[in-house]
Chains A and B, each alone.
Chain A
Amino acid sequence: KAGVTQTPRYLIKTRGQQVTLSCSPISGHRSVSWYQQTPGQGLQFLFEYFSETQRNKGNFPGRFSGRQFSNSRSEMNVSTLELGDSALYLCATGRGNTEAFFGQGTRLTVV
């Protein structure tokens, strides 16, 4: 059974650019959540998508957005990148009240 797949694994972008990250869930998982991990702030929830609808949202500016497709794959987009957006972005997928399974993350560096 394939795990959660995040692409790309590493990304370097320039301030002001935008970026799109992708997450393919484990088969059968319809809930996809995104987290930002930084040394200073730790792990912070960005948003959750379920059945192509955003169900929960963390405290991040509108530059952070996402979407989910009918096959449950999800993308998150960050526009007008800032240096502070440099982080590890983790995707977690699951089903109902079971545990969440994480991908290996995308390491984003903004220069």
Chain B
Amino acid sequence: AQTVTQSQPEMSVQEAETVTLSCTYDTSESDYYLFWYKQPPSRQMILVIRQEAYKQQNATENRFSVNFQKAAKSFSLKISDSQLGDAAMYFCAYRSLNYGGSQGNLIFGKGTKLSVKP
């Protein structure tokens, strides 16, 4: 069975600075998807970034980028130029490839609570 581990329950960053959130996972599959989701106090889960395992290039979305190390099974999220609105819970998630239209289930880490100091 696949597992996802986030070893940092809480992190803090100064506004405008850079922070990196860690995530490791365990799987025997060779093709899969990895995601970072953000959950602000409103509780709505918002997709931050996604990575397909077969792509060697690290995904980026504006101020958000990942460091995907497939052999090490590591998937860290870097937030540059941190903003007050980035304060939230961040969840790393794994999903196997699925066929036929269904999505299968997301396996989540326990989350990292990010605080942003003005």
Contact = CB atoms under 8 A, between A and B. Distances in A.
* A, B co-complexed: yes
B43 A97 contact: no
Interface stretch (B17-25, B66-74, B94-102): B94-102
A104 B42 contact: yes
A31 B101 contact: yes
A8 interface: no
B11 to A, nearest CB: 17
Contacts of A35: 106
Contact of A97 (B33, B107, B111): B33
User: Most chain-A Cβ atoms within 10 A of its Cβ — which of B46, B47, B101?
Assistant: B101
Given A43-B91, A97-B97, A90 B45 contact: yes
Given A42-B111, A100-B106, A95 B101 contact: yes
A66 interface: no
Interface size class of A (residues with CB under 8 A): 20 to 34
A90 to B, nearest CB: 6
Nearest to B44: A104
Interface in A27-50: 30-31, 33, 35, 42-43, 45, 48, 50
B84 to A, nearest CB: 21
Q: Is the interface of B mostly helix, strand, loop or mixed?
A: loop
B55 to A, nearest CB: 13
Given A90-B45, A99-B35, A104-B44, A30 B101 contact: yes
Nearest to B6: A42
B110 A97 contact: no
B85 interface: no
Interface centre among A101, A102, A103 (most CB of B within 10 A): A102
A56 B105 contact: yes
Interface of B: 33, 35, 37, 42-47, 50, 91, 95, 97-98, 100-111
17 contacts: A33-B103, A42-B108, A42-B110, A43-B106, A45-B106, A50-B102, A56-B102, A58-B105, A90-B45, A96-B101, A99-B50, A100-B95, A100-B106, A101-B47, A104-B42, A105-B43, A105-B44
